[in-house]
Chains A and B, each alone.
Chain A
Amino acid sequence: MSAKTVAAGLALLLAAACTGQTPPRALPGQTSAGGPPVCAEPPRGAPPAAETPTTIDVVEQAYLCILSRYYSGPTLDARTLLNAGFLAFTQELNRSGHDLAEATMPAMSGDRTADWAAFEKLYRRLTDLLPQDTKLRERLAATTLQAIVDALNDNHARWAHDLQRAPSAYDDEQYGLGFKPSLGPQVGGNPGTALPPLFVTSVLGGAAERAGLRPGDIIESVNGSAPFVGDAVTPAAITALYPRYPQADPVRLRVLRQDTGRRREVTLKPGLFQPDPAAMRTVSAVRLGDGVAHVRLRGFGPDAADRVLKAISRLKTGGELTGLVMDLRGNGGGSPVEVNRLLGAFAHGKVTAYQCAADGACDTMRTDDSVPLLGLPFVVLTDRGCASACEHFSAAVKDHGLGKLVGTRSAGAVSGPAQPYLLRDNTMLSFPAKHHLAPNREVVDRVGVAPDHYVPATAEDAAAGRDAALAKALTLLPGGSAS
């Protein structure tokens, strides 16, 4: 697979899933027993049909797809997947009050086909013993499939299913509590990254706005639970701040307003709200100080690089620029192609990353040298929300010394570009075939990219509307400190 094909992978997730663009050519489809391909590419142009119930046949499809296409699929011990699946299955039985004496893991031989057959046979026998409850059966199959995907322990392996949208939602609305907490929803996947206190970073609208929350408010409890016990985060408390439709249970918060010392309880009901579109723009750019461009990029989506470059050239029409702050805080990633293109504005002829197969063979990704060099000193702002393609970018900047990184360590969520596959229940399974290494061949996944200058976001700064990381960045750029 060429570097370009790999690069297309993550781009594809965006393109196919978001804009309905034509996905790249199919990989040669492995078929099971002459049936349809196990790893089917998502349909072209049109969205998939409505989801159908997940069954053990869908679980089998996901299992085979992972074994044939996942990064370590050809070599991994498939028993670990089946073990994880069975474990989750028994837990779900227990949760629903239907645990069965016969629910004991079957013996596994290490032969992938035979082990699946044994697993499936037992699965069917057990579910036949259960009451005729279609919801329960669906839940069991979904739980099993999810556990198999989770067993890969890969932050770019995911199963997108049962995604619902509020039936009255509009395009410019979001669903939730209406504020941004200082910790992201993924904290459960990497709890060691979370530092106290939990506070409100910004208020977007909806319930949070109505309740009068403000940036900098300290959240001392969530539904009665402390967000931190000592220094250890309580992931469930953080997750509760990110309700997804149709979750509609009100969330109770105890909130401390720092300047007044006032504590109060607020109850936020999840719902639709309209955030300010200006605050949501993928690219926004302003001129600061004597001529520093502050460009915020919220994702490496299609055309991201060109949009950034256009925004910079527009700022240039207002006078010469002396430096650039590339603000990637909260940038959740996107296409490696866009990363390579944007890096092409800062350096030519450089390796930006390697995409490596499990056997160690790597494709090399390079700067897009068709982009003219900007020739501006620049600083990159990063935080724990800078993930995936954002880390590809930041690691390349750091390894090549193209600019300084200011803020906090990045998310550590850059296993490799994910390729989506359509399962027969019209849900989407995606995972990487290759893993990412930064230009010095170091692993960034889970570790994250460390900033050159550590400037964390604090509740005090949030309350005062101060941006300490940006202020630090300006001191590092000519013409920046004058502001």
Chain B
Amino acid sequence: MSLKPLLRGGLAAGLVALAVSACSAPVEPRSAGAPATPSTPSGPAVLPAPTGARPVGATVLHLTDDSRADPWVPEVKARELMVTVWYPARERSGRAAPYMSVKESELTLKGKRMTGAPLDILSRTRTHAFADAAPAGRDGSLPLVVLSPGFTMPRTTLTALAEDLASHGYVVAGVDHTYENYATTFPGGRVADCVACDSDTDFGFGTKVSGIRAADVSFVLDRLTGDEPAWKGSSLIDPAKIAMAGQSMGGAGALAAMVKDSRVRAGIDMDGTTYARIPKGGLARPMLFLGSAGHKPGGRDISWDRDWKLLTGWKRWLVLPGGDHQSFTDVPLLAGALGLEPPGSLTAARSAELTRTYVRAFLDLHLRARPQPLLERPSPRHPEVTHCAPATKTCA
């Protein structure tokens, strides 16, 4: 989240200009939780099993948008995206879907400057989806959820959430926003690195990135629900039931996509400072703010308070005071394998459980019209999650 308020003005002499030129763009935290205490790596991570009844399939799509040049590398006259689709599968058979490649693991860990564990360790993470398994479902019956990761993070860091949603009957599309992480691999082994990292301190960076993400998502929706579907299971998707969730910059992207594309019926921002301008007339579609301690109402990041007033539909603002920025991703689950303590005061298993529970409750309510008491009031079974009242700047 942004620390802009900390540096806006108030600095004497020499670094005044510094604050303006180098710090005025709020940048999502780059570190994967910056866990504090190194310990011995535990061996490869095993993601928690999905909680739904359906087997889960996963397939990888390569999509090329010829209508625009790549916003980060304008010499490239098309925007190429890699997307993983998780979905309910007919049966549990075939090989386990890889978490990421050896090369991606290596480049991601090097990019994050986390070199205390074998560099291939992330590629050995155990997933629960079956690669390219046959999809199951009736035509036009499955709701679609787009997932967008944090800045510098690959789409696979939302796998625990994606697999769980798919096991409950959602089609989930995780998007790598090319050049916004350390390793996106295209067919043939071409790897795009983090070109956007070169300008992440630029003024207005957040606005630029969230706008790019909105455009990426609109294109992905075109290809998943349009006339020339990119995925063999596309016909199963109900195009009237689309939502988006994202962590950090991905959450900012979710709000930006909602503003730009009315096909996105509902959105979840997990701990991301927001940048998109909601029109003065407001945004009437459902929105969930799901934050860690840094995103309480009245805090240093003004963006949720600002946007809250412009959200005119169903909305909730939930905060996990013991959570970390990465609690909504696979990062806590991977920490042991990297020889790091999980960030925040929640256990890795619990943060995954809470994220899965609240994200699915929101989607079940808004895409399936199933009432969710969990979202109406604090839950004794989930004391880590507080409901916030921005008007009084309180969470309980």
The residues of A with any CB-CB pair to B shorter than 8 Å are: 13-14, 17-22, 44-50, 155-172, 174-175, 184-186, 189-190, 244-245, 275, 277, 280-283, 298-303, 306-307, 310, 330-334, 385, 387-389, 411, 413-415, 418, 428
Contact = CB atoms under 8 A, between A and B. Distances in A.
Given A17-B23, A19-B30, A306 B198 contact: yes
Nearest to A172: B204
Contacts of A307: 198-199
A163 B21 contact: no
Interface stretch (B5-13, B222-230, B352-360, B367-375): B5-13
Contacts of B26: 171
Where chain B touches its partner, the secondary structure class is loop
Nearest to A275: B203
Contacts of A298: 17, 21-22
A85 to B, nearest CB: 17
A413 B17 CA distance: 11
Nearest to B11: A158
Contacts of B20: 174, 332
B304 to A, nearest CB: 11
A282 B21 contact: yes
A46 B30 CA distance: 11
Contacts, number: 223
Given A17-B6, A22-B34, A166-B302, 12 more contacts: A14-B201, A19-B30, A19-B201, A46-B29, A48-B300, A163-B6, A174-B20, A189-B13, A275-B203, A303-B198, A332-B18, A333-B18
Interface in B285-304: 292-294, 298-303
A172 B21 contact: no
B293 A46 contact: yes
Residue with the greatest number of chain B CB neighbours at <10 A, chosen from A20, A245, A387, A388: A20
Nearest to B20: A332
Contact of B21 (A156, A303, A332): A332
A172 B207 contact: yes
Contact of A334 (B22, B30, B206): B22
A411 B18 CA distance: 13
B203 A413 contact: no
A171 B2 contact: yes
Contacts of B9: 163, 244
B13 A186 contact: yes
Given A185-B16, A330-B21, A332-B19, A163 B10 contact: yes
Given A165-B5, A170-B207, A158 B198 contact: no
Interface string B183-224: 000000000000001111111111110000000000000000
A277 B206 CA distance: 12
A119 B294 CA distance: 36
Residue with the greatest number of chain B CB neighbours at <10 A, chosen from A48, A163, A171, A244: A171
Contacts of B303: 171
B198 A45 contact: no
Contact of B23 (A18, A45, A277, A310): A18
A160 B7 CA distance: 7
A386 to B, nearest CB: 9
